Structure 1
Amino acid sequence: MKIISVFGDSLVYGMGDSLEGGWVTRVQYKIKGKNKFLNFGIPGDTSKDLLERIDEELKESNPDIVIVLIGANDSQYKNSPENTLINIEQYKNNLEKIVEKIKKYTNEIIFIGLPKMNDSITTDWHYIYNFCNNNLQKYDAIIKNFCKENSFKYTRLFDLLEEADLDDGAHPNSKGYEKIADRIEVSLRENIA
């Protein structure tokens, strides 16, 4: 049995899924066997938040495989797209530190890229911070390059979801999470064979 710990934000938690569980639960059902998935997704988390909490959760779960999907909240901006919650350099630095911590437990690390959002809706939420696809794409490119430089598996999501898959503009609905689960399942099967 392999223990698969999944770390991230609301996109890992499954927010927006009326059937509950998001893509993590769906992937667990799709990959039958004796694998145990542990969902450590916390809505609103940034890479900084994940870095601060990951030690305890790694110790608790002692994973064989770690999946990380983090960065959407980092890319949020205030007033102008350049004024992000966590700037790109700090984001890269946080990813490096997160990986250092994970490597104490396993070298099997998979990164999931950021999905596109319907930013015509998310900019009308009237929150202090907003999302935009341009920023999401920049942060997704950081993840992709980071994985290439470090020989980690990267699963792209940016091209996957359509507006109909995002009821609130940011979080996938059940149909969107099903699409994500299908793509991640293919990527993950190689690691658990």
Structure 2
Amino acid sequence: MPVLPKQLVVIGDSSVYGWGDTVGGGWCERLRKDWSKFHDFPIIYPLGVRGDGIEKVSLRWEKEWSSRGETRRNKPKAILLNVGLNDTPTIGQKNGRHQLEINGFEYGLERLIFEMKSQTQVFVIGLTPVDENKMPFAGCLWYSNDFCHSYERRMEEVCINQNVPFLPTFREMYSDNRSKNWIAEDGIHLNTHGHLWIYQRLKSWDILNKWKES
């Protein structure tokens, strides 16, 4: 009887969906295609929804994750979580209230990861830079790199406290002089070059590779 490959559910927002990458379909799709070349590598299920934040992912993750085990008694062996950017902006003005205030974001992430971890292996990816000159997004949302940095730091702290592998992406991308060329015209999504950067970073992430090959 053939051995069923493991499944990796990648859940999050438009970054997981691949919005902005008109060539490769996004970093997740690039990774899925790369892994699909090998019959014994895990199957990747991309589950990105544009606009999702912590609260919406918390509502849908368990049903979506549990239904992708491919057989009745099997459940996917891991989740790769990429969410948070849509929780960072202020609404209406630069000094307005946040879509989700940072302490509420941290609390929501703690609960979400705790719930996921009780069911399966969890990996978490950080946030990505924005182009502040293009704000406000959609005429009302003010994203900023200071907010992205602060929220990613909270993400890292939560992951450290729960012993969950975390891949920080914001600091590394933002410190690269080329990063402004990796952001789409709308100011918040990655373009093809940005998605390629994330894909290459994930492809070389040792802890994910060890899980993949275990």
Decide: shared fold, TM above 0.5.
yes
Out of 4, 12, 15, the residue aligned to residue 11 of structure 1 is 15
Consecutive unaligned residues of structure 2, counting only runs of 5 or more, are 69-74
User: What is the CA–CA distance in structure 1 between the aligned matches of 2:201 and 2:127, rounded to whole Å?
Assistant: 13
Identical pairs, percent: 23
AA aligned to 1:23 is W
- How far did 1:66 drift? 0.7
**Equivalent residue pairs, number:** 191
8 Å contact kept, 2:11–2:80: yes
Shift of the 180–114 alpha-carbon distance from structure 1 to 2, 3 Å rule, reads same
User: What is the CA–CA distance in structure 1 between the aligned matches of 2:122 and 2:129, rounded to whole Å?
Assistant: 23
8 Å contact kept, 1:117–1:132: yes
8 Å contact kept, 1:3–1:63: yes
**Is it true that 1:67 corresponds to 2:80 in the alignment?**
yes
Shift of the 82–148 alpha-carbon distance from structure 1 to 2, 3 Å rule, reads farther
Out of 117, 125, 148, the residue aligned to residue 103 of structure 1 is 117
Deviation larger for 55-64 or 10-19: 55-64
Out of 188, 193, 213, the residue aligned to residue 170 of structure 1 is 188
User: What is the CA–CA distance in structure 2 between the aligned matches of 1:15 and 1:120, rounded to whole Å?
Assistant: 20
**Is it true that 1:182 corresponds to 2:200 in the alignment?**
yes
Structure exhibiting the larger radius of gyration computed from Cα positions: 2
- How far did 1:90 drift? 1.3
Residue of structure 1 in register with 2:128 after alignment: 115
8 Å contact kept, 2:80–2:124: yes
Q: CA RMSD in A?
A: 1.6
Residue of structure 2 in register with 1:156 after alignment: 168
TM-score between both structures, scaled by the size of structure 1? 0.92
**Is it true that 1:27 corresponds to 2:34 in the alignment?**
no
**Is it true that 1:192 corresponds to 2:196 in the alignment?**
no
- Runs of 4+ in structure 1 deviating by more than 4 angstroms, as ranges, are none
Shift of the 100–126 alpha-carbon distance from structure 1 to 2, 3 Å rule, reads closer
Consecutive unaligned residues of structure 1, counting only runs of 5 or more, are none
Out of 50, 59, 64, the residue aligned to residue 52 of structure 1 is 59
User: What is the CA–CA distance in structure 2 between the aligned matches of 1:157 and 1:81, rounded to whole Å?
Assistant: 25
8 Å contact kept, 2:136–2:143: no
8 Å contact kept, 1:63–1:105: no
User: What is the CA–CA distance in structure 2 between the aligned matches of 1:138 and 1:81, rounded to whole Å?
Assistant: 15
Deviation larger for 15-24 or 5-14: 15-24
TM-score between both structures, scaled by the size of structure 2? 0.83
